[in-house]
Amino acid sequence: MRMFFRHPVVDFATWKVAYDSFDAERPGFGVTAHACYQAADDPDDVTGWHDFETLEAAQVFDGSVRLREVMEGAGVAGAPDIWFTIPA
C-alpha cells in the first residue's frame, strides 16, 4: 500500500529538515518506507510517498493530528493532494 502526497512548501530546505526530523516517528504510524522529490521546475513543489502494510494504517497516518502539526511547522503551504495505491 503506497500513499502519495503533493504540496507546495514555503521553503524546501526548512521543510526537508522537518521531514527528516519526523523519521523517528514514522514507524510508529506504520510507515515502512518513504521518499520525497522536488519538481524539476519548482523546488518548493514537493511530491513523495509512504508505504504501509494496510490501507487503514495509511488512512490513520493521513488523518493524524501529529502529522498536521509537523506539516504546519515545516511550512506546508496549502492542503496536500493525497492518493492511495496498491500494487498492480
What residues have CB less than 8 Å from 39, skipping those under 6 apart?
45, 46, 47
Q: What is the pLDDT of residues 21-58, one digit of tens each?
A: 999 999 999 999 999 999 999 999 999 999 999 999 99
pTM score, whole prediction: 0.92
pLDDT value, residue 85: 97
Residue 34 has a CB neighbour count (10 Å cut-off) of 17
Whole-number average pLDDT of the chain: 96
Rounded to whole angstroms, the Cα distance separating 47 from 9 reads: 11
Q: How confident is the model at residue 86 (pLDDT cuts 50, 70, 90)?
A: very high
pLDDT value, residue 70: 96
